């Protein structure tokens, strides 16, 4: 599980160590230099003679890079640096002593053209606002050089790619795209949230001993394969359908019969002990003909999935969805509200055991109904803020779908899941996610009902569903067949199996 902390919290955690004289910058620089050497070797190049270009800002981020360049120069690397202003004094002295060449901005292009590695030390967590001159011009030129080179350079960002928002992942102006980000101490939310995440490349965390001084709650969490394995209730000899979770699914309509099929297929694939389908008669026949194990008689369920493909303009369907929502809240069992059912929260508050799964458009509609309008673009530009606002206004757990899915309850950590984003933007993928999420929530339904509150569990399970959905889309992509929602549903068991077998992450 990746944990990310806001830059202010990182600074506060660094302070006591710096006061004790712990050489944090030295450790940071050593880790940065080691990562550069590892990557150069992985490319099959020899370290001595490799050309490395450091882009150095005037703050401690630049200081990290200057000390790293000094270490690299001592290992025979041909190291040069471009400064944006007055550099970190001790770093500059160390780099000069080690033979690092300081070039003026006019030679940037030629140095950038020949250097195998660029190290970005322009700004780190001290960045304020969009990247500004002279860093801005440097990034503009580097991106031009990168495009024109026959072989791309290896770009390694110190702490953060310069130009992204450390805490929210926004990219207000230009940013330098890195292949690897060597982040100091602990990851920051901007490395996991879109669009910042796309500039970070692979994240390498450098432990600096900050843990004991960081807040107990991270600002953001991200689920990995190992966490799925840890949270998954693998059936055993005394399992039965209720211990595995029975999920009720009220989805689909004459207009959207496919939503019924996709959501129930995903619910089955997600490991539910049984799926009760409560949609219209016409779609029941379709569902049961495809999945004879699905039952249509009503009885005990431990989670509901409501709304995918339901025509909420149909008063009978809408009142049925509203009734089931109310019953579930009274019984304390978790509910997934998808698609049109999300509009119910325009006027009622709910516990965090209710999970809504909007895309940006549906969230914009909900926020407008709640008197806090945000445009679809504003939501996509800062998904974490929009999801938190909706959770706070409604009380629900919000799983906001996008290039990075974010999930949060009103007062619990934020989850962010990237992965296979593009492939999931296909008709019906939301129906699949809703069914999968319902199936996972059902496995925890009794526990949630006993707890009487969400306690952050629905958000964590929503992140797990998003992770599995993303992995299933990536697996579906690998089949070479068209990536349609039914293929994603079909790949869910393999995605779960992979995670349960994982030993990494
Ligand atoms: N605290 C420590 O000892 C450690 C810190 N680490 C590294 O240090 C940075 C944080 O360093 P800090 O000096 O606080 O700030 P930065 O270097 O990240 O940035 C400040 C410089 O950047 C310029 N700046 C700020 N905003 C912009 C912008 N939008 N565009 C261009 N330039 C910007 C700022 O210029 P001023 O004119 O405002 O002075 C400064 O020059 C952290 O990220 C780590 O890399 C160590 O890793 C651990 C120990
Ligand atoms: K940087």
Q: What was the ipTM of the complex prediction?
A: 0.97
Residue 435 assigned to a binding site? no
Sequence-ordered list of residues with C-beta below 8 angstroms from that of 177, at least 6 positions apart, any chain: 143, 146, 155, 161, 198, 199, 201
Is 464 assigned to a binding site?
no
| Alpha carbons 170 and 247: distance in angstroms, whole number | 38
| Burial class of residue 310, CB neighbours in 10 A (0-12, 13-18, 19+) | buried
Specify the pLDDT at position 430: 95
**In this structure, what token pair is assigned to residue 258?**
């496919």
Q: What is the mean pLDDT of the chain?
A: 94
CA separation for the pair 358, 20 (Å, rounded) = 48
List the end-to-end C-alpha distance of the chain, in Å, as a whole number. Answer: 7
DSSP 8-state assignment for residue 308: T
Candidate of 126, 134, 136, 184 to mutate for ligand 1, largest count of ligand atoms within 8 Å of Cβ = 126
- DSSP sequence for 166-185: TTT---SS-----SEEEEES
C-beta of 381 in contact with ligand 1 (< 6 A): no
| pLDDT of 420 higher than 70 | no
Residue-wise pLDDT for 143-168, tens only, equals 999 999 999 999 999 999 999 999 98
120 annotated as ligand-binding:
yes
Residues across the chain: 505
Asked whether residue 505 carries a pLDDT value surpassing 50, the answer given is: no
Determine if ligand 1 sits within 6 Å of the CB of residue 281: no
Answer whether residue 360 shows pLDDT above 70: yes
Residue 230 assigned ligand-binding role: no
- Nearest protein Cα to ligand 1, atom 37: 58
Q: State how far the Cα of 235 lies from the Cα of 500, in Å rounded to an integer.
A: 12
CA pair distance 60, 301, nearest whole angstrom: 56
Residue 239 is predicted with a pLDDT of 79
pLDDT of 462 higher than 50: yes
Summarised one tens digit per residue, pLDDT across range 387-413 is 999 999 999 999 999 988 999 999 888
Q: Whose CA is nearest to atom 29 of ligand 1?
A: 131
**Site to substitute for ligand 1 among 127, 139, 176, 187, most atoms within 8 A of C-beta:** 127
User: Percentage of the chain with pLDDT > 70?
Assistant: 99
Ligand 1, pocket-test mutation among 14, 61, 89, most atoms within 8 A of CB: 61
DSSP 8-state class, residue 106: G
Q: Which of 31, 64, 123 to mutate to test the pocket of ligand 1 (most atoms within 8 A of CB)?
A: 123
Check pocket membership of 57 for ligand 1, CB cut-off 6 A. Answer: yes
Tell me what pLDDT residue 489 has: 96
Q: What is the mean pLDDT of residues 234-253?
A: 87
Q: 340-344, long-range: CB within 8 Å, 24+ apart, which pairs?
A: 340/307, 340/310, 340/311, 340/312, 341/306, 341/307, 341/310, 341/312, 342/307, 342/366, 343/312, 343/369
> Given pLDDT bands bounded at 50, 70 and 90, which one contains residue 375?
very high
**339 CA from centroid of ligand 2 (Å):** 40
Ligand 1 in reach of 124 Cβ (< 6 A): yes
412 is in an annotated binding site: no
**How many angstroms is it from 121 CA to the middle of ligand 2?**
4
C-beta of 83 in contact with ligand 1 (< 6 A): no
- Cα 134 to ligand 1 centroid, rounded to whole Å: 14
pTM (2 decimals)? Answer: 0.83
Euclidean distance between CA atoms 462 and 388, whole angstroms:
14
Task: Tell me how far apart the alpha carbons of residues 262 and 283 are, in angstroms, rounded to a whole number.
Answer: 12
Domains of the chain: 2-222 (3.40.50.10260), 234-356+423-501 (3.40.1190.20)
User: With a 6 A CB cut-off, is 123 part of the ligand 1 pocket?
Assistant: yes
Average confidence (pLDDT) over 216-239: 85
Q: Is 45 annotated for ligand binding?
A: no
Distance separating alpha carbons of residues 66 and 72, to the nearest angstrom: 10
Q: Could you identify the residue written with the tokens 């990247």?
A: 131
Question: Does 127 contact ligand 1 (Cβ within 6 A)?
Answer: yes
Q: What percent of the chain has pLDDT over 90?
A: 83
Please name the residues in contact with 331: beta carbons below 8 A apart, sequence gap of 6 or more: 449
Give 486's pLDDT tier (boundaries 50, 70, 90).
Answer: very high
3-class DSSP state for residue 9? helix
The residue among 157, 345, 488 whose CA lies nearest residue 335 is 345
CA 383 from chain centre, in angstroms, equals 11
Supply the pLDDT for residue 419: 67
CB 68 less than 6 A from any atom of ligand 1: no
Q: Which of 163, 196, 175, 159 is nearest to 27 (CA)?
A: 159
Residue 139 has pLDDT above 60, yes or no: yes
For 326, what's the count of Cα atoms within 13 Å in the CB-facing half-sphere? 8
**Residue 244 has what pLDDT?**
82
Query: Ligand 2 centroid to 416 CA: how many Å?
Result: 22
pLDDT digits over 252-297, tens only?
999 999 999 999 999 999 999 999 999 998 899 999 999 999 999 9
Q: Which residue reads 């008689």 in tokens?
A: 297
Q: 32-69 pLDDT, tens per residue?
A: 999 999 999 999 999 999 999 999 999 999 999 999 99
């Amino acid at each position: 599980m990746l944990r990310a902390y806001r830059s202010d919290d990182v600074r506060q955690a660094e302070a006591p160590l710096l006061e004790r004289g712990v050489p944090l910058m030295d450790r940071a620089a050593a880790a940065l230099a080691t990562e550069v050497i590892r990557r150069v070797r992985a490319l099959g190049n020899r370290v001595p003679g490799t050309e490395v270009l450091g882009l150095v800002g005037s703050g401690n981020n630049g200081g990290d890079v200057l000390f790293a360049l000094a270490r690299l120069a001592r290992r025979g690397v041909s190291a040069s640096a471009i400064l944006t202003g007055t550099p970190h004094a001790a770093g500059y002295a160390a780099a000069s002593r080690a033979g690092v060449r300081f070039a003026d901005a006019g030679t940037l292009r030629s140095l950038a053209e020949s250097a195998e590695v660029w190290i970005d030390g322009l700004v780190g967590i001290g960045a304020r606002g969009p990247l500004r001159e002279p860093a801005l011009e440097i990034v503009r030129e580097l991106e031009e050089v990168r495009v024109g080179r026959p072989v791309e350079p290896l770009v390694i960002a110190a702490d953060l790619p310069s130009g992204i928002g450390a805490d929210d992942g926004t990219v207000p102006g230009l940013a330098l795209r890195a292949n690897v980000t060597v982040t100091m101490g602990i990851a920051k939310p901007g490395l996991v949230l879109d669009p910042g995440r796309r500039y970070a490349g692979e994240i390498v965390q450098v432990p600096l001993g900050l843990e004991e001084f960081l807040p107990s709650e991270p600002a953001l969490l991200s689920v990995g394969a190992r966490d799925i394995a840890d949270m998954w209730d693998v059936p055993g000899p005394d399992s039965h359908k209720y211990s595995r979770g029975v999920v009720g699914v009220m989805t689909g309509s004459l207009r959207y019969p496919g939503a019924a099929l996709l959501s129930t297929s995903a619910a089955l694939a997600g490991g539910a002990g049984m799926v009760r389908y409560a949609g219209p008669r016409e779609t029941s026949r379709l569902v049961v003909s495809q999945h004879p194990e699905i039952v249509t008689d009503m009885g005990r369920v431990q989670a509901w999935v409501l709304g995918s493909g339901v025509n909420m303009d149909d008063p009978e369907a809408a009142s049925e969805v509203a009734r089931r929502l109310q019953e579930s809240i009274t019984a304390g069992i978790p509910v997934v509200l998808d698609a049109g059912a999300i509009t119910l929260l325009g006027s009622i508050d709910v516990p965090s055991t209710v999970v809504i799964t909007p895309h940006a458009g549906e969230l914009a509609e909900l926020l407008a109904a709640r008197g806090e309008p945000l445009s679809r673009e504003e939501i996509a530009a800062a998904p974490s803020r929009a999801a938190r606002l909706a959770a706070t206004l409604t009380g629900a757990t919000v799983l906001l779908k996008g290039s990075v899915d974010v999930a949060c309850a009103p007062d619990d950590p934020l989850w962010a899941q990237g992965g296979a984003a593009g492939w999931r933007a296909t008709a019906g993928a939301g129906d699949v996610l809703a069914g999968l999420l319902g199936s996972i929530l059902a496995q925890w339904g009794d526990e949630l009902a006993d707890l009487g509150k969400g306690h952050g569990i629905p958000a964590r399970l929503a992140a797990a569903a998003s992770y599995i959905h993303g992995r299933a889309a990536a697996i579906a992509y690998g089949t070479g067949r068209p990536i349609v929602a039914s293929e994603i549903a079909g790949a869910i068991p393999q995605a779960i199996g992979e995670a349960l077998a994982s030993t990494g992450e």
